[in-house]
A = this chain, B = another copy of it.
Amino acid sequence: MDITALLTSAGINIAICVVLLSLYSVLRKQPSNGCVYFTQRLVSEPVKYSDPFCLERLVPSASWIMRVWQATDEDILAVGGVDAVVFMRIVVFSIRVFIIAAMICIFLVLPVNYYGQDMQHKQINAESLEVFTIGNVKEGSKWLWTHCLALYIISCSACVLLYFYKSITKMRLAHITGSPPSPSHFTVLVRGIPWSPDHSYSDSVEKFFSTYYPASYVSHQMVYQAGTIDKLMKDAEKMYRMLKTIEPQCGKSSMPCCLCGGTTHSFKVLNNEAESVKSKTSVDGLQPTQREKERPAAFVFFRTRYAAVIAAQVLQSSNPMLWVTQLAPEPHDVYWSNLSIPYKQVWLRKIATLLGAIVFMLVFLVPVTFVQGLTQLDQLSHTFPFLKGILKQKYMNHLVTGYLPSVILILFLYAVPPTMMLFSAMEGNVSRSERKRSACIKILYFTIWNVFFVNVLSGSVISQLSVFSSVRDIPIQLAKAVPAQATFFTTYVLSSGWASLSCEVIQLFALLCNVFRKFILRIKEEPSNCALTFPHHTEIPRLLLFGLLGFTCSIMAPLILPFLLVYFFLAFLVYRNQILHVYVSKYESGGQFWPIVHNTTIFSLVLTQIIALGVFGIKRSPIASGFTIPLIFFTVLFNEYCRQRFSPVFKRSPAQVLIEMDRQDERWGTIEEIYNQLRSAYCQYPSISPDLSTAGNTSHHEDKESSQDPESLTPGNQLVKLNE
C-alpha cells in the first residue's frame, strides 16, 4: 500500500462520514424522528412536534456540532450522571495523549524512519507505507534513541494524564456526597440467609439484625420468587400494553391513566402481602405459600448510612457463605431475577461463565476462519461440486468472495455483546450496572484478543495456540509482527472506527424501526420504550482498543496517529451529542468503569514498551533496550501506586464521608422523609407497578441490553420466560 492508496481510502471514508453526518443533521430536524434523536428530551417532557414544514428542514447544517461543543461538563453531569462524565474523560484523555504522541512522532520519529536507509526515495505519493515504519531503520542505527525518547515522552505523559484518576475519585466522592439522599445508601443487600425449619427467612432476617444491629436496624424487605400472582399480573400488564397500542384514542399524554386504578390496586395488594409476613397478625392460612415464595435474600434498611456501610463491609458470620452483605444497588439498578440465586452457587457460576467466555473467545475464530476460506472459491467448488454451476456466474462469484465474508464476520461480531451480556447475567450479578461492567471486561478481552493479537500473530505464525509456547520470544515475535500489521490497523481505524461513529450518531436500527412503524404500520403515537441506556459495555472496549492500537503503533508506524486523532475528535462530538440527546441514565455506577480504563491503558503502555524492547533487540541497539527496561518497571510501579491510592474508594465507601452526610441529614431534619421513602423504594416489580400507577414517563425506557437478554423482565419477552 502506498501513500496515494491510503489517502484515497481516507478520502472515501471522509466522504462517507460527511454524507452520513449531513444526513443526520437533516434527519434530526424532522419531527417524526424525535423519538430516535431526542429520546432524552422526550422522556423528560413529552413535547408534540407541530413545526410547519419549511425548506430549512432539508438543508444540512453544522449547528448541532456547535451546540455540542458549547455544552459544559456540568450539562453532561446533569443529563448523564457521573458515568457519562467519566466516559467523556476517556475520550478527552485519549485526545490529549495522542496529540502529544502525534507531535513527537510526526516531527521526530517519522523523519528518522523515512531516512533510515541509504536509499533513493521515490516521489512522496508513490512511496510505500513500509518506508514510514521503524522497519525502514537499519540495524545498529544511532538514531534509535529518538524512538526511545519518544517512548519515554509518551509513557510519561500518559502516566501524568492517568494520574487524574485522582480527580475521578474526587468526582465519585462528590457524587456520593452531593446527590440527594438515595435509598441505596441506607440499604444493605443480604444474601445467603440460612434456612431454618422453625421460622421463615423473613423471621431469620429480623431476628439476626435486631439482635446484632438493635440500634440501627429499621426494617427489611424479602426477595420473592416469581409465582402465580406475578404471572397473572404480568399477563395483565401485557394485555394492557396490547390494548394501549390498539386503542390510540386514549391520547398521548394521558395514556397511562386508562388502567391506572386497577393496577394500583393490585400493586397495593402485593405490598400488603409483603408486609403481612412481618406483622404476625395476618391470616395464617396464607403464610405457607408466602414462606415457599421467599428467597434467601433480602434488602435490609438501616437508620443511618454509616450503619449500612458497617453492615456491608464487616464479615458477619463465622461461615462466610452465610449472611453475605453488600451495599444495595440503586432501586432502578437491581437485577431482580438474579437475587433469587442461592449465594452458594455464585462462585460456581462465576467459574463456569469465565470458562464459557474463554471458550467463546477461542472458538470464535473457527467461523471466521471458515468464512475467510470462502474467498478461495476454487477450493469450495472442489469440495461441493454441486455449487460449481452457481459459482460460475460472475455476479454470484463477486457476492460470495467480496461481500459474504465481511457480512458474516460483522454478524458474528454483532453477536458478541449480547453473548457476553448473557454470560454476565448468568454469573449472578445483582445489579444491572455490575452486569454491564462485567460484560464490558469480557468484551474488552475479546476485542483485544480477536482484533489485536489474532491479527498481529496470524501473519507471523501458523496456529494461534502455539504462539505462547515460547514465552521468551514474545517480544521478538510481536516486534516483527506489529510494524508489519500497522497498515492494516491504519485502515481499520479509518474504516471501522470512523464508520462506527457515523452509525452511532445516525442510529440506523432505531431509525429504520421508526420509519417502519410510522410509514408502514401507520402508528402515529410515540413508542413507549424507545429510550436506551448508554451502551458502556460496547463503547468503552472500542475506545480502549483504538487506544491500544495508537500506543502500540505510535513509534513503530506514526502515520496512524493523525487518523486516530480525527477518530477521537469525532468521538468527542458524537458521544457528547448522544449523551445529551439520545441516551437516558436510569442507574449510575458512580464511575466504576474508570479502574478498567486505567488498567487497560497501563496494559497498552507496557505492551508498547515490550514491543519496543523487542524492536530495539532486533535493531541491535543495546542502549535503547537498556533504557526501556526501567521504563517498564516504573510504569508497573505507577500502576501499583494508583491501585493502592485510589482503587479502594471504588470498591468500598469511606466511613468518614458517610458519617458527615448522616450528621448533615440530622441537622437538616431530612431523615424522617428518607425513612418514608425507604419502604417503597425497593419494589420487586417496578416494570409493572410504578409504570402504571405513576405518570408513566420514568419507566417507559428500557435497557438496550434487555432486549437481548432472556432473563430480563421486559414486557416483550415475559410470556416467553413464563412459558418456559
Per-residue CB contact flags for chain A residues 634-652 toward chain B (1 = under 8 Å, else 0) read: 0001001100111111001
Q: For the complex formed, measure the closest distance between the CB of A346 and the CB atoms of chain B, giving whole angstroms.
A: 9
Question: Which residue of the partner chain B has the closest CB to A641?
Answer: B347
Q: For the complex formed, measure the closest distance between the CB of A402 and the CB atoms of chain B, giving whole angstroms.
A: 38
A314 contacts B316, CB within 8 Å?
no
Tell me which residues across on chain B come within 8 A of A179, comparing CB atoms. none
Tell me which residues across on chain B come within 8 A of A647, comparing CB atoms. 320
A323 to B466, CA, bound (A): 49
B655 contacts A173, CB within 8 Å?
no
Tell me which residues across on chain B come within 8 A of A641, comparing CB atoms. 347
Instruction: From A15-23, A45-53, A468-476, A599-607, give the one contacting chain B.
Output: A468-476
Q: Does A222 sit at the interface, judged by CB under 8 A? A: no
A468 to B470, CA, bound (A): 8
- In this complex, the interface size class of chain A, counting residues with CB under 8 Å from chain B, is 35 or more
A656 contacts B316, CB within 8 Å?
yes
Q: For the complex formed, measure the closest distance between the CB of A319 and the CB atoms of chain B, giving whole angstroms.
A: 7
A173 to B318, CA, bound (A): 8
Q: Does A321 sit at the interface, judged by CB under 8 A? A: yes
B310 contacts A314, CB within 8 Å?
yes
Q: Which of A309, A319, A468, A471 has the most CB of B within 10 A?
A: A319
B315 contacts A655, CB within 8 Å?
yes
A315 contacts B314, CB within 8 Å?
no
Tell me which residues across on chain B come within 8 A of A309, comparing CB atoms. 314
Within 8 A of B (CB), among A149-196: 169, 173
Q: Does A212 sit at the interface, judged by CB under 8 A? A: yes
A659 contacts B212, CB within 8 Å?
yes
Tell me which residues across on chain B come within 8 A of A313, comparing CB atoms. 313-315
Question: Which residue of the partner chain B has the closest CB to A211?
Answer: B659
B653 contacts A315, CB within 8 Å?
yes
Q: Does A710 sit at the interface, judged by CB under 8 A? A: no
Q: Does A351 sit at the interface, judged by CB under 8 A? A: yes
B320 contacts A655, CB within 8 Å?
no
Q: For the complex formed, measure the closest distance between the CB of A335 and the CB atoms of chain B, giving whole angstroms.
A: 21
Q: For the complex formed, measure the closest distance between the CB of A401 and the CB atoms of chain B, giving whole angstroms.
A: 36
Tell me which residues across on chain B come within 8 A of A212, comparing CB atoms. 655-656, 659
Q: Does A654 sit at the interface, judged by CB under 8 A? A: yes
Tell me which residues across on chain B come within 8 A of A646, comparing CB atoms. 320
Q: Does A243 sit at the interface, judged by CB under 8 A? A: no
A648 contacts B315, CB within 8 Å?
yes
Q: For the complex formed, measure the closest distance between the CB of A28 and the CB atoms of chain B, giving whole angstroms.
A: 42
A401 to B288, CA, bound (A): 84
With A351-B640, A468-B471 as given contacts, are A317 and B654 in contact (CB-CB < 8 Å)?
A: yes
Q: Which of B317, B321, B469 contacts A471 (CB 8 A)?
A: B469
B310 contacts A649, CB within 8 Å?
no
Q: For the complex formed, measure the closest distance between the CB of A623 and the CB atoms of chain B, giving whole angstroms.
A: 24
Question: Which residue of the partner chain B has the closest CB to A653?
Answer: B315
Q: Which of B310, B319, B466 contacts A645 (CB 8 A)?
A: B319
Tell me which residues across on chain B come within 8 A of A320, comparing CB atoms. 644-649, 654
B640 contacts A347, CB within 8 Å?
yes
Q: For the complex formed, measure the closest distance between the CB of A640 and the CB atoms of chain B, giving whole angstroms.
A: 6
Within 8 A of B (CB), among A458-480: 466, 468-473
Question: Which residue of the partner chain B has the closest CB to A656?
Answer: B317
Q: For the complex formed, measure the closest distance between the CB of A300 and the CB atoms of chain B, giving whole angstroms.
A: 14
With A347-B640, A469-B473 as given contacts, are A657 and B314 in contact (CB-CB < 8 Å)?
A: no
Q: For the complex formed, measure the closest distance between the CB of A320 and the CB atoms of chain B, giving whole angstroms.
A: 4
Tell me which residues across on chain B come within 8 A of A347, comparing CB atoms. 640-641, 644
A351 contacts B657, CB within 8 Å?
no
A654 to B321, CA, bound (A): 12
Q: For the complex formed, measure the closest distance between the CB of A243 and the CB atoms of chain B, giving whole angstroms.
A: 49
Question: Which residue of the partner chain B has the closest CB to A466?
Answer: B472
A645 to B315, CA, bound (A): 12
Tell me which residues across on chain B come within 8 A of A316, comparing CB atoms. 654-656
Question: Which residue of the partner chain B has the closest CB to A469?
Answer: B472
Q: For the complex formed, measure the closest distance between the CB of A47 and the CB atoms of chain B, giving whole angstroms.
A: 42
Tell me which residues across on chain B come within 8 A of A637, comparing CB atoms. 348, 351
Q: Which of B319, B466, B656 contacts A318 (CB 8 A)?
A: B656
Question: Which residue of the partner chain B has the closest CB to A321?
Answer: B645
A654 contacts B318, CB within 8 Å?
yes
Question: Which residue of the partner chain B has the closest CB to A347?
Answer: B644
With A310-B310, A314-B313, A315-B652 as given contacts, are A321 and B472 in contact (CB-CB < 8 Å)?
A: no
Q: Which of A470, A655, A659 has the most CB of B within 10 A?
A: A655
Within 8 A of B (CB), among A325-369: 347-348, 351
A318 to B659, CA, bound (A): 12
Question: Which residue of the partner chain B has the closest CB to A465?
Answer: B472
Within 8 A of B (CB), among A440-490: 466, 468-473
Tell me which residues across on chain B come within 8 A of A470, comparing CB atoms. 469-470
A649 to B322, CA, bound (A): 12
Q: For the complex formed, measure the closest distance between the CB of A498 and the CB atoms of chain B, giving whole angstroms.
A: 39
Q: Which of A169, A317, A646 has the most CB of B within 10 A?
A: A317
Tell me which residues across on chain B come within 8 A of A315, comparing CB atoms. 313, 648-649, 652-655
Q: For the complex formed, measure the closest distance between the CB of A104 and the CB atoms of chain B, giving whole angstroms.
A: 30
19 contacts between A and B (CB under 8 A): A212-B655, A212-B656, A212-B659, A313-B315, A314-B314, A315-B648, A315-B654, A318-B656, A320-B645, A320-B646, A320-B648, A320-B649, A323-B656, A347-B640, A347-B641, A347-B644, A468-B471, A469-B472, A469-B473
Closest 7 CB pairs of A and B: A320-B648, A315-B652, A318-B654, A314-B655, A347-B644, A469-B472, A315-B654
Given contacts A315-B653, A469-B472, 11 further A-B contacts (CB under 8 A): A169-B318, A212-B655, A314-B652, A315-B649, A316-B655, A319-B645, A320-B645, A347-B640, A348-B637, A466-B472, A469-B470
